[in-house]
């Protein structure tokens, strides 16, 4: 009496006789002896596996939660089935152990910013070690590195403090720059005003000096007759004013008395 077992594509069958491995059969229709033989089906296709919430410690003693995704496929069905009681769990422990060693050599900031390098180092570390279990790891990826809640809170506080510090520095620099610009403008205005006043003072002094020079030149060019005429006009103005007292030395009185016009003015002052 014979039985028939269909092995699907990308699978293999392990034939056991009375519980002992005998042979491997490929995909298709296979014949076996029921009750005496058993066919175990092993999937050879690539299988995804997610490792969630694995805790590791960084070099600076920070706890980090990691989520790892890996893809593997079975390369040796006999090893996978018979040489390890749980080949998948052994592979998982191997991955976690190497991941712990790699991250344990990094500071928290280095670990958070180096996921691509961690992926590469982990793939290299695993290498062909899983071949012992009849498994090949095709791809491994760190999906997430998440610090613990306390560390996350501390990091957020540090970030806020850094932002506030940066804002305060920026404001202080802005205020200092504003004061600098205002002071410079005020100084420039003061200098310009002083310069203008100095130029105006020089211009007035030049004008006054010119006026004095012209007056001196004019006075130098006139003779005594001019001064006598000026004095006569002064006496005439005095004669028409309310004042009637003039103090003069006797020589001047004698000199002006000889001038008819002056004598007439003096007589008018006396008769007032």
- The yes/no answer on whether domain 46-147 falls in CATH 3.40.630.30 is no
Q: How does residue 158 score in pLDDT terms, banded at 50, 70 and 90? A: confident
- The rounded mean pLDDT for the chain is 81
Q: What ranges do the domains of the chain cover?
A: 3-43, 46-147, 174-239
From the CB of residue 23, how many other CB atoms can be counted at a distance below 10 Å? Answer: 13
CA distance readout (Å), 213 to 82, 198, 200, 207, 223: 129, 22, 19, 10, 18
Nearest to 122 by CA among 109, 141, 138: 141
Is-contact 258 232, C-beta < 8 A? no
Question: 147 pairs with which residues across the strands?
Answer: 64
Mean pLDDT for 63-77 is 91
Q: How does residue 11 score in pLDDT terms, banded at 50, 70 and 90? A: very high
What does pTM read for this prediction?
A: 0.54
Span 134-157, pLDDT tens digits: 899 888 898 888 887 776 666 667
Q: Which pLDDT value is given to residue 252?
A: 56
């Amino acid at each position: 009496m014979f039985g028939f077992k269909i092995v699907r594509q990308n699978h293999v069958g392990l034939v056991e006789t009375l519980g002992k491995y005998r042979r491997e059969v490929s995909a298709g229709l296979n014949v076996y002896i029921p009750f005496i033989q058993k066919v175990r089906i092993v999937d050879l296709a690539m299988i995804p596996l997610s490792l969630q919430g694995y805790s590791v410690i960084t070099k600076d003693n920070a706890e980090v939660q990691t989520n790892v995704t890996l893809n593997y496929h079975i390369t040796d069905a006999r090893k996978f089935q018979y040489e390890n009681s749980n080949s998948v769990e052994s592979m998982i422990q191997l991955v976690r152990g190497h991941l712990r060693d790699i991250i344990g050599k990094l500071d928290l900031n280095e670990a958070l910013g180096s996921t691509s390098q961690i992926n590469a180092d982990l793939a290299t570390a695993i290498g062909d070690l899983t071949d012992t279990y009849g498994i090949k790891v095709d791809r491994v990826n760190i999906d997430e590195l998440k610090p613990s809640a306390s560390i996350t809170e501390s990091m957020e506080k540090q970030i806020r403090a850094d932002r506030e510090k940066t804002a305060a520095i920026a404001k202080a620099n802005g205020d200092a720059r504003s004061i600098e610009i205002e002071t410079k403008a005020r100084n420039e205005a003061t200098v310009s005003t002083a310069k203008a006043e100095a130029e105006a003072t020089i211009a007035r002094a030049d004008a006054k000096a010119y006026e004095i020079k012209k007056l001196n030149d004019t006075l130098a060019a006139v003779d005594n007759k001019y001064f006598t005429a000026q004095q006569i006009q002064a006496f005439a103005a005095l004669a028409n004013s309310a004042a009637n007292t003039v103090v003069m030395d006797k020589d001047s009185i004698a000199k002006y008395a000889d001038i008819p016009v002056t004598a007439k003015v003096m007589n008018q002052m006396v008769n007032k």
